[in-house]
Amino acid sequence: MLDLFVIRTTYVSNGNDLDASRTIESWLSAVSNMIDSTKVKGVIAIGSVDAFIKHGRHKSAAEYETHIGKKFETPLEAICCYNADSLSDMSAGTLITILNAHQYTLHDNAEYSEWEGDKLQNVLIAAFDKVLGTTTSAFVLKTLKSVYKLDERSIISEPALLEDVLGKFFKDSSNAILASILKNLKSEMAFHRQAI
């Protein structure tokens, strides 16, 4: 039997910035109290940081997601929801940071995905292929790996590196590739809310 309890919390109030640690402590306290009083075996918490993204607080959203994506001693699973529209101004580095914080994602039409293995590499290859063509794309990716040490592992450990290297290598032409990468990354994490 599934018991449903709803606790509403707010990430931002009176224009204050997100404090990831304080928010997580609040969540864990609410979850502990719920478990103690109801004897449930676990809790699923669902939240959205769209408000932060909408107000340009991308770094705060990424920090929060990094904290919330960790495993907790409390039997808690966190589900973070993103609206496709709210992702429009985010950088590739921020999106990669958020995806790195969560192993699993669900998308429109309940499409399920795991963000691990060579997933980022596939996103990059698809974006480069679309903009540069398959042959040129393969050559450029090998060059970026050889000259700038840019590969999936380096990008995952330092997501801002991707944009820095593309800016150096392509100069003003990097926007087309970044736009394609962003489109692919957004498709890995966003729902499109439908009017009811």
Largest CA distance in the chain: 61
pLDDT tens, the chain, 196 aa long: 445 555 555 555 555 556 667 777 777 787 788 788 888 877 777 777 777 777 777 888 888 788 777 666 777 777 777 777 777 778 888 888 888 887 777 666 556 667 766 788 888 999 999 999 999 999 999 999 999 999 888 998 898 899 999 999 998 889 999 999 988 888 776 655 555 4
pTM, two decimals, is 0.74
How far from 69 is each of 20, 62, 66, 101, CA to CA, in Å? 11, 10, 5, 5
Q: Would you list the domain boundaries of the chain?
A: 20-81, 119-187
